[in-house]
Structure 1
Amino acid sequence: IVPLIAETGGLNAMFCDTTAQKEQVVDDVIASAFQSAGQRCSSLRLLFLPHDTADEILETSLGAMDCLVIGDPADPFTDIGPIIDAEAKANLDAHMARMRNEAKVLKQLAIEPSPPLRGRGQGEGARANTQAPDVSARPGGAALPFSGPAIVELNSLSQIEREVFGPILHVVRYDPADIAKVGAELAAKGYGLTLGVHSRLESFAEAVRAAVPAGNVYVNRTIVGAVVGVQPFGGSGLSGTGPKAGGPFYLPRFAEERAISVNIAAQGGDPHLLNL
C-alpha cells in the first residue's frame, strides 16, 4: 500500500476571553484572516469573542480593515492580492450573497477599477490606503479576480459547515464559561488544523485546547506562518492525516521498516568474537 500523507484545510478558529489584550487581538486577527488574501490552509475562518468585549474588538477590527491596501502582490505596499482564479472568486461571491441573507455582514472592502497606484518615493501622489487596485492590470486586459476582505457576524455556528477559502472572517459571540459546549460543537464539524487562543489565563488556554482538536495551537499570536522544523504543520480528521510536514516523522513515513536476523553460529562463527 502506498503511504498517504494528506494536509488539507480547516475551519480554523480563534477564541478570546475578556483578559485578552485588545490591540494584540486585532493585529493578530487581521493578519491571520487576511494575509495572502485568506488563501492559506491555516488562515483564520472563525473568531469567537466574549459578549462583554465583542463590540470593542469588532469596532477596532473594522477600523483596521481600512488600512489594508489591495493590489498587485508584486508591489511591496500591497497587503492583499487577488484570489487564485475566477472560480474561487465565484465561490466567495456566492458565499457572501448567502451571508447577506442569513447573517450580518459587518464590512466588506469594495473592489473598484482605479488608475495604477503609485508607491512611496515617487513624489506627489504616493500610495494612499483608500485607493482600489487596477483590476484590469492583467496582460490581455482580463480582470484580476480580487475579493474584498469581509467580516461577517453569524447568528450561530450552524451557519457555516465547511472552509471558505478566502478573505472572509466569521465572528461568533459566546460566553467563555461555555467553552466546552462551544468547542464540542466546533469539533463536531470534523476539522482539526489550526487553533488560536488569546488570553492571559493559562487555565483558559488549556480549556480551549482540551475542547477543540487541532494539529497546531497558537497562544497570543497569529495562527499563520508555521516554521518548518519549529512548528511541524498538519491536522487530523477532514484537515489531514499522517505525520506533520516539517517534523521529524515525515520522511520515515515513506520508508519501510525491516528487521533482519542472522544466526552467525550456524555459519561457524563465534558470536563472542564477532561481537567484539
Structure 2
Amino acid sequence: MKFLRFLPLALASLAFAGCNDDNETDNDSAAIQVLLIDAPGDYKAVNIDLQKVQVNATNAAGEEGWQDLDSEAGKYNLLSLVNGSYAFIAGQNFPAGHIEQIRLVLGPNNTLTLKDGTTVDLKVPSGQTSGLKINVNEDLKAGVTYSFVLDFDVAKSVVARGNGEYNLKPVIRAVPFALAGSIKGTVTPLAAKPQVMAIRTDVANGDTINTYTDANGGFQVFGAKAGTYRLEFKAAAPYKDTQKENVSVVADNVTSVGVITLTQ
C-alpha cells in the first residue's frame, strides 16, 4: 500500500515515461493511474480490503471486457486520505481508446471503527461482491497519462442497518486529473478543525467536495472540475462558520486560497 501526498496535477497531461518509439504496442497506448481519496465521515476508521482494480473498455455484460490493472492490493483506511493525501492503487500502460468503467474488487475483511473505538465488520451487499463499479466514460489518447481520482464519499457509503451492523454501499465519483484541478489552503486557529466544503457555483447543481483540515490546519480539495467554487468552513464550537466566494479552478492547476482565519 502506497500513501503519497500532493500529486502534481500537470502529470495528467504529460507523455508517460514508458512509451517506447521502437514498440508499436506502446506507441498505441495511454497510461492509467488510479488514485483513491476520501470525502470523510463521522468514524475513527473505515478500512477496505482491496483485492483488484479493473477497467472495462467494452461495456460488455458479465465478466467480458473487464481487464486487470497492476494493482496495489491491501487494506486502506479511507479516513487517512484527506488534505491532499491519497493512495496510489493501480497503474499501467493501456491501449488508447474509450473506457467505460473502473471496478474495485474487495475482499471479505472490510471493517468500520466507530468513534467510541469499537470495530465492527463492514458488510458488502451480495449484489456488489463482484466489484464496485464506477462510471468513467473517458477517451484515452496515445502517449498521455491519465490519473483517475476515485473520491470515496464515506458519509454516504456507510449505512447503519439498525441492529449494530453496517453495510458498505459505496458512493464514488471518478474525475480524471486531465479535466480537474484542486484547491488548497490553511485554516487558523488549529482548534477550529473545520470541515471544508467546495461547492461549484458556475453551473446548476454543481459538485460538492468535502475534506477536513490536517493536524497543521492545511487542506487540499482534489478532483475539482474547472469552474468557480464557494468554500464553506464548518467549524467546531466556539468558532464561527465562514465561507469564501468566487474561487476559480483551472484544469491541471492548484488554486491556493492562502490562510483562512476563523473567529469565535
Whether TM-score is above 0.5 comes out as no
- Structure showing greater relative contact order (alpha-carbon pairs closer than 8 Å, 6 or more residues apart): 1
**Looking at CA atoms only, which structure, 1 or 2, has the larger radius of gyration?**
1
TM-score, length-normalised on structure 2?
0.27
TM-score, length-normalised on structure 1?
0.26
